[in-house]
Amino acid sequence: METRTIIPLTRIHQPLKLELDLEGDLITDCRSSGTLFRGFELMLEGRDPWDAPYFTQRICGICSTAHGVVASLAVEDACKVEITRTAALMRNLIYGADVLQNHLRHFYVLALPDYITSPKTPPFEPQSSYDKRFSKAENDKLVESLWQGIETSRLAHQMLAIYGGKAPHQHGIVPGGASMAPDADRNNRFRGLLKIVLEFVNEHLLPDVELLATKYNDYFKLGRGAGNFLSYGMFPQTGSSNRKYPAGAYLGGKLSDLDISLITEDISHSWFNGPNIQEKPAEAVAVPDKHKAEGYTWLKAPRYDHQVVEMGPLGRMWISGAYRNGTSTMDRLVTRALETKQIAQWMLEWLDEVVPGQSTFTPFEVPESGSGAGFAEAMRGCLGHWVKIENHKIAHYQIITPTAWLFSPKDKTGRRGAVDHSVVGTRVGDKENFTEVGRIVRSYDPCFSCSGHLIQPQGDMKEFRIC
Amino acid sequence: MLTRRKFLSLCAKTTMAVSLSELLLADLDKAVAAKEIKKPTVIWLELGSCTGNTISLDNTASPSVKELFNKVIDLRFHWIFMNAEGTWATDIMRRAAKEKAGEYILVVEGSVVLADGGTWDNIAYENGQLVTGVSVLKDLAPQAKHVIAIGSCAAFGGPAAARPNPSKSVGVQDVLDRQVINTPGCPCHPDWFLGTLYHLINYGVPELDTYNRPKLFYGRLLHDQCQRRAYFEKGIFAQHLGDSWCMFTMGCRGPRTFADCPNREWNGTDNWPVGCNTPCIGCVEPGFPDVSMPFFQRYPDLKLPGFSANLDKAALGLGVITLGGLGVHLGVNLATQRLRKNLTETSLPLSPPGPRTKAQLEGIRTEAGSEDAPAQPEEFRPLPANLQVRRPKKARRTLHK
């Protein structure tokens, strides 16, 4: 048996370290590890609850709007504020634009270069020539799509800025609603850009993914997940408490309602020590210990009802029933593309629903004390913020991001996290660069900016959490 | 090639809509073809970051990312874009640094993480050992022709260094004994970065302010360029987020922020934070975000010996004086005489009054990021009850129920 260490795994937001155990060409174990920690949760303590959406957006540059949305939901829950219907639609539009941006950038910038021969110029060059299956004509077409995909994702951010002020780290989503009321001129510009993006999705993204799925159809067998899914739900619907993507859990072949109280975090293989190996997120007291012998990552292992769960576009579409083909690498890429089109179409509906000039902001006072939580689907899976207010200020803040769920280490029963699980059992043909492993891991659209927000105590034993 | 003078005037006049870079690209392209200049080698290092500055650079309209990679820069190492991975990727970086020693431009995104000897930010694996971000930075910086810190985290520590700064993050210039050109912003506007890069390639180091920011982009007070300045002068202030009046009452940091957002605008739209009916949060300034938080609390009234200004006076049309004063809030050591001169004559000649030495800058950061610092400065107080806010009745009806 040999062990190989890969860091940085490139084309991922922030570095990922992978340790692979190999017997011949078979991967027998995989230990993924996040290697950067900044500690956003403790930074939030003592600050104004109004600041949470702008501040938590700084956790992540690619999915910043998701943090803005979820932090606003958490603060509004704690302050018992109802936002207006138009405000909810404006948020859907702003957030939807960021999801389109993310999905396009993921496919063309991060995932596709694993399969094509990229342009022969730095930063793409040098590149491996292992297992490239496209003809020259197909490859040229995909390279052209790659450049256009980057351009189109820029247009998605332009849409976002029409109502969000700027991107990344938008200003338009605030506790109490959205800061810009819709107006006809902006709606028209938004719609124009949205149609360009939708056209690109129809004419490039979907055919490109289809071509990829045809040429690499063996990837419908590689990188299969454990088959359990979780979704917090995404995009509030008007006139209903349901969301466009429903919340739910799919465990052992059975679909059930989401129950937040079933979430636990396991620290047996994380650089943490605490009285309990498994703890409820809200009561977590474990402290970090970088020298813990069994530890290999800063991430804790979140579990839902003691099960490892997968999430993201595949999880959302699996739970909504829209896609149940399989749980492989290619299924993840395919559902991300299908979802891009779905969300763009929903955005057109929302644009028709908003009425220019209606109020989008509900003023409110922060109460003396209160607690609340916000849950929604980020681009890559379940994102939850928990906030506790005391003396009009944030007394306690907690975040669990999708990357923590997906890239969690082993728990006390030895079960691997979702990504590690799907890598183990793969046979590698390319032991130089582990192309197969890169393809599997990138299909999850990981983002390690989000994953590690470890808090270090300054002398006293405060609560420690990681998300 | 464009003369430097022409270039400077372009930077001052163009907005994203009439792209600065578009005008420059053709010119740069010709110069590269004629071998007047070489495509500079760029090594992009990502440390304690959210990758937001890379995403922002991806949002460049013109040159597009395609043109940027093909025609403008020779980007040898950037782990969001490159195909190689693991030790191969690290080798590419080391080789480029060796081959192009003294020629390459090192761009650093994200804060320098110092906790536990920097091991909270491991970025590579060499000779069987994990390598920290700070050690790679210290290896690469001395041989770089220029070092650019992109984004507020790299420039000053930024959000990564927010109180209580668990990862002990600092800006790039704090760990290097050499000039670092700062292009802060959260994120940095693609024009700010590319304009600075263009200047470096063609004319060398641009004129910098006291925080080593190019004056081209960070040279003027945001408040002086704001489209809503007239509302400020007339005393028409926002009462809520989402009002389309002067955001000073909502905590706008425009009066002490040096950036050209009102003119340049964001993402190819006509929008920017104040245009979006929210306050500027001063993201290009040292000490951000601590010195700007709470984001939606009005900036404290100015208190200086022999001079006081408050919002009531501002509402009476003395805005220039008040805000000139606020612009120098950070410069507590500034001689009162010079301040008075600025206050009474004009608000324009202000340049950031900030510290000139590393030690002084450290002082500001310690003050802002210290654990003892109150989360909310005590000076903040609610709006005076007798504040007269004037606003057109008709407009109000359309905005609020």
B95 and B23 in a common domain: yes
Picking from A288-302, B90-104, B339-353, which range would have the lowest pLDDT averaged per residue? B339-353
Residues B233 and B87 in one domain: no
| Cβ distance of B273 and A160 shorter than 8 Å | no
Chain A residues closer than 8 Å to B77 by CB: 123
How do residues A385-395 score in pLDDT, each as one tens digit? 989 999 999 99
Is B384 found in the same domain as B328? yes
Do residue A38 and residue B74 have CB atoms under 8 angstroms apart?
Answer: no
Q: What is the pLDDT of residue B24?
A: 60
Q: Which of A179-188, B349-358, B384-393 shows the lowest per-residue confidence on average (mean pLDDT)?
A: B349-358
Q: Rounded to a whole number, what is the distance in Å from the CA of B288 to chain A's nearest CA?
A: 11
Q: Can you give the three-state secondary structure of chain B, one letter per residue?
A: CCCHHHHHHHHHHCCCCCCHHHHHHHHHHHHHHCCCCCCCEEEEEECECCCHHHHHHHCCCCCCHHHHHHHHCEEEECCCCCCCCCHHHHHHHHHHHHHCCCCCEEEEECEEECHHHHCCEEEEEECCEEEEHHHHHHHHHHHCCEEEEEHHHHHHCHHHHCCCCCCCEECHHHCCCCCCEEECCCCCCHHHHHHHHHHHHHHCCCCECCCCCEHHHHCCEHHHHCCCHHHHHHCCECCCCCCCCEHHHHCCCHHHCECCHHHHCECCCCECCCCCCCCCCCCCCCCCCHHHCCCCCCCCCEEECCEEECHHHHHHHHHHHHHHHHHCCCCCCCCHHHHHHHHHHCCCCCCCCCCCCHHHHHHHHHHHHCCCCCCCCCCCCCCCCCCCCCCCHHHHHHHCC
- The residues, any chain, with a CB within 8 Å of residue B266's CB and separated by 6 or more, are A161, A165, A166, A167, B16, B189, B272
In this structure, which amino acid lies at residue A126?
A: P
pLDDT band, very low/low/confident/very high, at A300 (cuts 50, 70, 90): confident
Q: Lowest-confidence range among A105-109, A211-215, A312-316, A427-431? A: A427-431
Phi, psi of A253, deg, nearest 5 = 85, 5
Report the C-alpha gap between B325 and B22 in whole angstroms.
38
Interface probe for B, chosen from A2, A6, A10 (most Cβ of B below 10 Å), is A10
B318, B284: one domain: yes
Question: Do residue B269 and residue B255 come from a single domain?
Answer: yes
Contact A109 B278 (CB under 8 A): no
For residue A461, is pLDDT > 80? no
Residues B149 and B207 in one domain: yes
B230 and B184 within one domain: no
CB spacing of A357 vs B64 below 8 angstroms: no
| Cα–Cα distance, B201 to A199 (Å, whole number) | 38
pLDDT at B143: 96
Domain boundary among B218, B235, B262: B218
pLDDT of residue B32: 66
Each residue's pLDDT tens digit, A185-235: 999 999 999 999 999 999 999 999 999 999 999 999 999 998 999 999 999
Predicted confidence at residue B1, as pLDDT, reads 64
Residue of B nearest to A37 (CA): B120
Q: Which two tokens stand for residue A386?
A: 């928990």
Instruction: Decide: residue A287, CB within 10 A, 0-12 exposed, 13-18 middle, 19+ buried.
Output: middle
Asked if residue B22 has pLDDT above 70, the reply is no
Chain B neighbors of A151, CB-CB under 8 A: 64-66
- Name the band, by pLDDT with cuts 50, 70 and 90, for residue A273: confident
The CA-atom distances, in angstroms, between A99 and each of A86, A234, A312, B285 are: 20, 11, 12, 29
Same-domain pairing of B68 and B146: yes
pTM of the model: 0.86
Residue B352: the pLDDT is 42
- Asked if A125's CB is within 8 angstroms of B80's CB, the reply is no
Q: Which residue did the predictor score with more confidence, B397 or A162?
A: A162
Query: Of B188, B218, B248, which residue is a domain's last?
Result: B218
Cβ–Cβ of B166/A38 closer than 8 Å?
yes
Contact A128 B272 (CB under 8 A): no
Q: Which two tokens stand for residue B66?
A: 């395609």
**How far apart (Å, rounded) are the C-alpha atoms in residues B2 and A299?**
52
What local confidence, expressed as pLDDT, does residue A270 receive?
84
Domain that holds residue B96: 4-218
Is the pLDDT reported for residue B361 higher than 60? no
Quick one: pLDDT at residue B167? 87
Q: Do B272 and A17 touch (CB under 8 A)?
A: no
CATH number at residue B390: 4.10.480.10
Give, in order, the Cα–Cα distances in Å from B109 to each of A372, B64, B78, B371.
34, 20, 11, 25
**Domains (ranges, CATH) in chain A?**
2-451 (1.10.645.10)
Note whether B267 contacts A359, CB cutoff 8 Å: no
- Reported as a single tens digit per residue, the pLDDT across A10-53 is 998 877 899 999 999 999 999 998 777 787 888 898 999 999 99
Residue B317 has pLDDT above 70, yes or no: no
- pLDDT for A57 beyond 80: yes
Do B205 and B228 reside in the same domain of the chain? Answer: no
Cα–Cα distance measured from residue B232 to residue B315, given in angstroms and rounded to the nearest whole number: 7
Q: Please answer yes or no on whether A7 and B122 come within 8 Å at the CB atom.
A: yes
| Min distance B48 CA to chain A CA atoms (Å) | 7
To the nearest whole Å, the CA of B126 is away from the closest chain A CA by 9
Least confident span in A256-265, B35-44, B188-197: B35-44
Nearest to A39 among B51, B116, B167 (CB): B167
Q: Angle at CA B102, nearest 5°, toward A9 and B97?
A: 20
Instruction: Say how far apart CA A233 and CA A256 lie, in whole Å.
Output: 13
pLDDT of A352 above 90 = yes
Mutation to test the B interface, candidates A20, A179, A187, most B Cβ within 10 Å? A179
Instruction: Select the residue of B81, B160, B272 nearest A109 (Cβ to Cβ).
Output: B81
Q: Do A174 and B241 touch (CB under 8 A)?
A: yes
Residues of chain B contacting A108 with CB distance shorter than 8 Å: none
Residue B331's pLDDT band, with cuts at 50, 70 and 90, is very low
Residues A168, B187: C-beta atoms closer than 8 Å:
yes
Per CB-CB distance under 8 Å, the chain B contacts of A147 are: 64-66
Q: Residue A277 — pLDDT band, cuts 50, 70, 90?
A: confident
Q: Is it the case that residue B327 has pLDDT exceeding 60?
A: no
Percent of chain A with pLDDT over 70: 94
A108 or B255: which carries more pLDDT confidence? Answer: A108
Q: Look at A393 and B376 and tell me if their CB atoms are within 8 Å.
A: yes
Q: What is the spatial distance between Cα A132 and Cα A117, in angstroms, rounded to a whole number?
A: 7
Instruction: Specify the pLDDT at position B202.
Output: 84
- Residue where a domain terminates, one of B164, B187, B218: B218
What's A271's DSSP letter?
Answer: S
pLDDT at A367 over 70: yes
Does one domain contain both B214 and B67? yes
The CATH number assigned to the domain holding B108 equals 3.40.50.700
A27-31: list long-range contacts, CB under 8 Å, 24+ apart: A27/A423, A27/A424, A27/A425, A27/A426, A27/A427, A27/A428, A27/A437, A28/A1, A28/A424, A29/A420, A29/A424, A30/A416, A30/A419, A30/A420, A30/A423, A30/A424, A30/A437, A31/A296, A31/A297, A31/A409, A31/A420
CA distance A257 to chain B (A): 33
Closest to A69 (Cα-Cα) out of A236, A313, A189:
A236
Nearest residue of B to residue A158, measured between CA atoms:
B267
Label residue B158 by pLDDT band (50, 70, 90).
very high
Contact A150 B58 (CB under 8 A): yes
Decide which of A460 and B125 is more confident: B125
Q: What percent of chain B has pLDDT over 70?
A: 68
The answer to whether residues B193 and B304 belong to one domain is no
Mean pLDDT of chain A: 90
Q: How many CB pairs under 8 A join A and B?
A: 279
Q: Over the stretch A84-106, which tens digit does the pLDDT of each residue have?
A: 999 999 999 999 999 999 999 99
Mutate to test the interface with B, among A2, A3, A14, A105 (most CBs of B within 10 A): A14
Distance from CA of B378 to the nearest CA of A (A): 13
- How many domains does chain B divide into? 2
Q: Let me know whether B55 and B176 are in one domain.
A: yes
Cis-peptide into B349, omega within 30 deg: no
pLDDT greater than 60 at residue A181: yes
State the pLDDT at residue B370: 47
Looking at residues A63-83, what average pLDDT do you find? 95
A174 compared with B2, residue with greater pLDDT: A174
Contact B82 A150 (CB under 8 A): no
pLDDT at B388 over 60: no
